Copies of this chain bind each other. A is one copy, B any other.
C-alpha cells in the first residue's frame, strides 16, 4: 500500500479519538465537546475542547486537514535561492493534531503536542512535530521521567534524534524577550523527510510513535500530581506562568502564525490560550522559594536524562 495523505489523515483522526478517551479517563469527570468546521478555501477540522474538568481547566485536542493554493510566504520559505521563480499554481495539503492542556492544579504541568504532515503539488512533503512540557513548578523527578520517555521513542528510531530534537525544542520554545525557555522543553522537529539516511516511511513510523506516546506520558504525570494540595501563592504563580505561555504563543509560535495567516479557524488556533492568565509588573520570585528554583531552570541546555 502506498502511504498517501489519506492514510496519514485517517491515522491522525484515530489518534485524536484515542487521546481524547485517555484524557477523559485521566480527568475523571470532564468531557470533550466536538465541533466540525470547514475552511472556506478548502478543508476543515474536528475540534475537541474540554472545559472545567476535574483536572483539566481548559484543553483542546484539535485535528485539522486543510488544502488550497500555497500561501506566498510558504513558497518563499521553500525557494532554494532568491532568484528562483515562484510557482503561482502550487497547491498544498496540511494535516495534523495540536494539543494544549491547561490543568487547574498548578502542580500538574501544562503540556503541548503537535504533529503535522505537509505536502505540496510539486512533490515536496515533510513531517513535523514535537511534545513539550511547561510545569508551573519544575520537579526534577517528573522532568527526568518526561524526557526519558521521549528519549526512548527517539532512540528506537535513530541514535541522533533525541539530542537533535531536544536541542531544537530548547531553541524553539524560547521566549527571547524574557531570556527564558517556556518550560522544560521536550522534542521538536520539522521538515523531516529523508534526514539522517532514514527513509520517509521510517520517519513516518517515528512520527506516529511520538503521537502515541503523548497520552500515556501525560496521563502518568496527571495521576502522579493531581491530588497534591496547593495554596493561593501557587495559584497566582500559575497565572503568571500562563501569561508567559500566552506571550510565547502570540509572539513566537509558528503554528499560531501559520494558522492565522492561512485563514484558519481562530477559535481552534487560540484554543491554546488559558482560561485565565496574569501579568504583574516587575514581579520577582522570593529568594530561595520554589518559584525562584523554577525560574532558574528555565534555560536551554539542561540535560534531564
Contacts and interface: CB of A to CB of B under 8 A. Distances in A.
A280 B275 CA distance: 6
Contact of A276 (B58, B239, B270): B239
Contact of A278 (B266, B267, B275): B275
A279 interface: yes
Contacts of A247: 250, 270
A262 to B, nearest CB: 11
A260 B179 CA distance: 12
Contacts of A101: none
Interface in A270-289: 270-271, 273-282
A80 interface: no
Interface string A202-244: 0000000000000000000000000000000000000100010
A204 B277 CA distance: 40
B239 A246 contact: no
Contacts of A279: 58, 270, 273-275, 277
Contacts of A155: none
Contacts of A271: 281
Contacts of A51: 280-281
A303 B191 CA distance: 49
Given A246-B250, A251-B250, A278 B281 contact: no
A159 to B, nearest CB: 38
Given A266-B177, A266-B178, A282-B49, A276 B275 contact: no
A272 to B, nearest CB: 9
A51 B58 CA distance: 28
Nearest to A247: B250
A35 B58 CA distance: 37
